[in-house]
Structure 1
Amino acid sequence: MSEELALLVADVYEAAGLLRRMGEGVAAAEGQTQARWQLLSVVSEEPLTVARAARRLGIARQGVQRVANDLVREGLADFHPNPDHRGSPLLTLTPLGRTTLERITTRAGAIHQVLTADIPAADIAAARNLLRRLIGEVRSYEDQPTA
């Protein structure tokens, strides 16, 4: 079983690399980067502090801060006061940011349709369920105290 898991991990890394490259191309077509796309997407659901957005994305806060500053400079996002913490403003999308995110998402959706045309939805759901279970197991393992 451990050999099968090792092969699955290798496949996940390969898929992640291919999807990341494709995502860069999708974002670039709208004048953005994948990092900006990801941050636009994360704060589109609700305003977040940079630290919270970084945790959701699983990346360093400093990198998210740099991208957030770029988005604000370009008028795609704004910082607003945080009633819960004066020193950590909330990042929110501007109307231009929402429009940009919609264009990127629409472009990606069209590509996803092509990629999945010959893959049954049930297969995609099963793969996703397996990955979510594996992620849960890894998180549980990480939460265990080390000896």
Structure 2
Amino acid sequence: MTTKRTRAADALTDLIIDVLRLNGLLVTAGDRMVAQLGLTSTRWQVLRAIIDAEHAQPVAWLARDMGGNRQNVQRIVNDLQKMGFVTLEENPHHRRASLVVLTDKGRRTYDEASRLQVPWANGLSEDLAIEDIDTTRRVVAELRKKLELNGERAST
């Protein structure tokens, strides 16, 4: 077993540290941005996962799609349900795994959060080359795919 990192592994380790720091900053910025709507970054992320799904899904599937764990996503779905942003409906395929369904209030709140995000994203992306953003996204997607193949799961 090699105990010395390659140059690529050193560069990847530095990238990982930068991504973790960026994540913290993004969560803080997102929390501030949507606080007036009763959301947090995590609640907003779960709403996005519900919207991105082709049809209503149980919490476990949403967690899988988000790369998180079921217990954390369940806690957030419970919060969203109390706030009237989602409802739980009977799952014809599994009695104990209810389907998470976005309410009209949830859709309006998500849409408003998205409107708040537009000027922020436009400002952040200013002076960044679209090619660099696309390359970064491909690298992140490839790393995620490798981790998923190895059975790694992130916590949300």
Which TM-score band applies after superposition, normalised by the shorter structure? 0.7 to 0.9
Which residue does 1:37 correspond to in 2? 44
Q: Distance in 1 between matches of 2:67 and 2:16?
A: 18
**Deviation at 1:24?**
1.1
Q: Distance in 1 between matches of 2:120 and 2:134?
A: 18
RMSD of aligned alpha carbons: 1.5
Which structure 1 segments of 5+ residues have no match? none
Contact residue 44 and residue 92 of structure 1 kept, 8 A: no
- The alignment's TM-score, normalised by the length of structure 1, stands at 0.88
Provide runs of 4+ in structure 1 moved above 6 Å: none
Which structure 2 segments of 5+ residues have no match? 1-6, 152-156
Q: Specify the SS of the correspondent of 1:79.
A: strand
| Count of residues paired in the alignment | 142
Which residue does 1:67 correspond to in 2? 76
Q: Specify the SS of the correspondent of 2:57.
A: coil
Q: Distance in 1 between matches of 2:67 and 2:140?
A: 16
Matching residue within 102, 108, 119 for 1:93: 102
- The alignment's TM-score, normalised by the length of structure 2, stands at 0.83
Matching residue within 6, 9, 24 for 2:16: 9
Name which of structure 1's ranges 97-106 and 58-67 shifts more when overlaid on structure 2: 58-67
Distance 1:9 1:112, change over 3 A: same
Name which of structure 1's ranges 91-100 and 120-129 shifts more when overlaid on structure 2: 120-129
Query: How big is each residue's C-alpha offset from its partner over 1:55-89, in whole Å with a ceiling of 9 and x where there is no partner?
Result: 22222322222221221122111111111111111
Name which of structure 1's ranges 129-138 and 34-43 shifts more when overlaid on structure 2: 129-138
**Deviation at 1:136?**
2.6
One-letter amino acid of the structure 2 residue matched with residue 84 of structure 1: H
Which residue does 1:132 correspond to in 2? 141
Q: Distance in 1 between matches of 2:100 and 2:14?
A: 39
Identity, % of aligned positions: 32
Query: Highest relative contact order (Cα 8 Å, sep 6+), 1 or 2?
Result: 2
Q: Specify the SS of the correspondent of 1:56.
A: helix
**Deviation at 1:16?**
1.2
Which residue does 2:4 correspond to in 1? none
